[in-house]
Amino acid sequence: MIEVTTSEFDARISGSDSGPYLVDFWSPICGRCYALRPQLEGGLGDEDHAMAINVFDEPELAERYDVKSLPVVLLIDSGKVVGRYDDPILSTQVIEDFRKLQTKLRLAR
């Protein structure tokens, strides 16, 4: 999972390989964010389509995606939100849905 800025995020999701992406919105003062992150990283490994957005550093992205509480995890494909998880306690379902989406899109392409 990589930390990205707004411009890096926009470049990634609008590129020719536009998804799917898993996007974790977090903040350094969010305890639940710190509990979720190792689960996501452990389940995703070195997945380059997994991004983390620090809402303090990138408030415009948080506003764009209507992030009002943390953590929030989005699944984005072709620039559109196809899955949203507000305050997930465990990453199991998030990762499973992300992997299913990846497989579905690989088969369709």
pLDDT tens-place string over residues 42-74: 999 878 899 999 999 999 999 999 999 999 999
Per-residue pLDDT, 97: 94
**E strands present in the chain:** 2-3, 21-26, 50-54, 72-77, 80-86
Arithmetic mean of pLDDT, 30-45: 93
Average pLDDT, the chain: 91
Structure letter (DSSP) for residue 19: -
Domain ranges of the chain: 2-108
Per-residue pLDDT, 16: 61
Please say whether the structural domain 2-108 has been given the CATH code 3.40.30.10: yes
Q: Where are the alpha helices (DSSP H) in the chain?
A: 6-14, 31-44, 59-64, 92-108
